[in-house]
Structure 1
């Protein structure tokens, strides 16, 4: 699998990442082992997890598999801290909480460092410079090799990245993880231009539009075993089951038919090759789903198909984002 640099850093990651959101819940220990082994054998390196995935079970499971399935040194392990199970506060990105959470993640993962440590969400109750100081401490102490953020808006990312570049000794942001797909192109408004300008690599989550871009929901129903059919994840999928999504899925399916590939391959190749993208994160729940995602590795979309998909999925960006030079 082709490696890519993550932002303006020396960290190299596979251009497809493996997400572990389902590990410990929909994905059993045996399925996780099969998925990780297949990903590694295909040349994949980037594995993304978080301390809140299955209440820490995903990290613990990944740590066990690093001892038995895949050598630790062959993978780029990314995890996240900051989200909390607190009815009064969904995010705690204070320095104290973040560093305590990182130490707990390292114990579950069975390693003395992670390759990429990410703030899971912006915390409006903590000064941003305090949050970023935790990242500096993590890097200077050797607990994290590189750092990043998740879910930050354009101004939040720009402020954080600029702060980290403002003084020697601060750990520059290597990556930003946000949802990005043909069904969700909101990052193109401010986040992606800011990330590219500041040297931050984008790690798209849900690159298949929460599964909708595979075409499995085209008949209006959720197939058995899909996330849309499950009680816990149905609300996650439902926002993309509308007429706008239907039109985009139809275009993806038409392109796939013309290329003799699957809609999944088309959707994944589109986001993988967008400017500024380092590695889409695919949350394959079993080896079969992973195999389908890996099959997109050899696909490069023709320019005319890329333009057609760009057009049918184009988000509406009005003031102040329109190109005034064309008016």
Structure 2
């Protein structure tokens, strides 16, 4: 698998990443082992997790598989901290919480460092400088090699990156931002992606297959057995992408796939993988078969005319202030 630099850093990652959202909850150790081994054997390096996935179970599973199954040195492990299971406070990006969470992640992952550590979400109750100082401490201690953020809107990302760049050489620049991005969700193109491109921050798209809807398996609005939409926990996650507008986009993806003699998954994944600023879409496959299909997109490049057609059918409505008003 080809490698790409993560933003304007020296860190290179496989241009597809393996997501572990369901590990420790719906995905057990045997299935996780098969997924990780298949991904590694295909040349994949980037494995994305978080301290709250499976209530820590995802990190624990990944830690059990390191070295015994896949050499630690062959992987770029990315994890996140800052989300908390507290109904009164969903996010805690205070210095104390983040650094304690990092120590706990390292213990579960059975490693003394993570390659990429990301703040899971913006915390309005903590000064951003305090959050970013936690990244500095983590990198300075050697427990973290590169730092990033996740689910930051445009102004939050720009503010964080600008603070980091205000003291060149003294502060660790942000390497990445992780955001949902697909043909069904192009909201990052409004402000986040332009900011990331300007600041040299690599985008790691989550849910690049539109939460599974872009595979075409929900075309009648029904969730097939075994799908995320049929899961009690994940059905609300999928439901927003089963409306009429999404159906038109899925139809266009299916038509393009038929014309290229590939699957809708291939078309949707190749589209987001090759968007400007994207480092590596994160694929949350549940089975080795699903992962194998995603990995087989490596040699596919969409023709320009198909990209234009997909861009048109999925284009988000951006008016003021994005529209050029100088000519009006």
Q: TM class, shorter-chain normalised? A: over 0.9
Deviation per CA, 1:216-261, whole angstroms, max 9, x where unpaired?
0001210000000111000000000000000000000000000000
Per the alignment, residue 243 of structure 1 pairs with: 244
Per the alignment, residue 171 of structure 1 pairs with: 172
Per the alignment, residue 320 of structure 2 pairs with: 319
Deviation per CA, 1:165-195, whole angstroms, max 9, x where unpaired?
0014111000000000000000000000000
Per the alignment, residue 153 of structure 1 pairs with: 153
The 2-side partners of 1:289 and 1:264 are apart by 10
Going from structure 1 to structure 2, the CA distance change for 1:326 and 1:71 (only over 3 Å counts) comes to: farther
Per the alignment, residue 187 of structure 2 pairs with: 186
Per the alignment, residue 111 of structure 2 pairs with: 111
**How far is 1:67 from its partner?**
2.8
**How far is 1:304 from its partner?**
0.2
Going from structure 1 to structure 2, the CA distance change for 1:288 and 1:326 (only over 3 Å counts) comes to: farther
**How far is 1:323 from its partner?**
2.6
The 2-side partners of 1:320 and 1:146 are apart by 34
Which 4+ runs in 1 deviate beyond 6 A? none
Per the alignment, residue 273 of structure 1 pairs with: 274
Per the alignment, residue 143 of structure 1 pairs with: 143
Is 1:122 matched with 2:122? yes
- The unaligned stretches of length 5 or more in structure 2 are none
Going from structure 1 to structure 2, the CA distance change for 1:100 and 1:299 (only over 3 Å counts) comes to: same
- Secondary structure of 1:18's aligned partner: strand
- Secondary structure of 2:67's aligned partner: helix
Per the alignment, residue 73 of structure 1 pairs with: 73
**How far is 1:325 from its partner?**
5.3
The 2-side partners of 1:296 and 1:29 are apart by 26
Per the alignment, residue 225 of structure 1 pairs with: 226
**How far is 1:326 from its partner?**
5.8
Correspondences of 1:291-302 after superposition (within 5 Å): 291-302=292-303
Deviation per CA, 1:42-94, whole angstroms, max 9, x where unpaired?
00000000000001010010001003110000000000000001121000000
- Secondary structure of 2:211's aligned partner: coil
Correspondences of 1:83-122 after superposition (within 5 Å): 83-122=83-122
Per the alignment, residue 24 of structure 2 pairs with: 24
- Secondary structure of 1:54's aligned partner: helix
TM-score, scaled relative to structure 1 = 0.99
TM-score, scaled relative to structure 2 = 0.99
The 2-side partners of 1:261 and 1:293 are apart by 11
The 1-side partners of 2:116 and 2:78 are apart by 4
- The unaligned stretches of length 5 or more in structure 1 are none
Per the alignment, residue 12 of structure 2 pairs with: 12
Count of residue pairs the alignment pairs up: 327
The 2-side partners of 1:16 and 1:234 are apart by 25
Per the alignment, residue 210 of structure 1 pairs with: 211
The 1-side partners of 2:166 and 2:57 are apart by 37
The 2-side partners of 1:9 and 1:283 are apart by 25
Is 1:59 matched with 2:59? yes
Per the alignment, residue 162 of structure 2 pairs with: 162
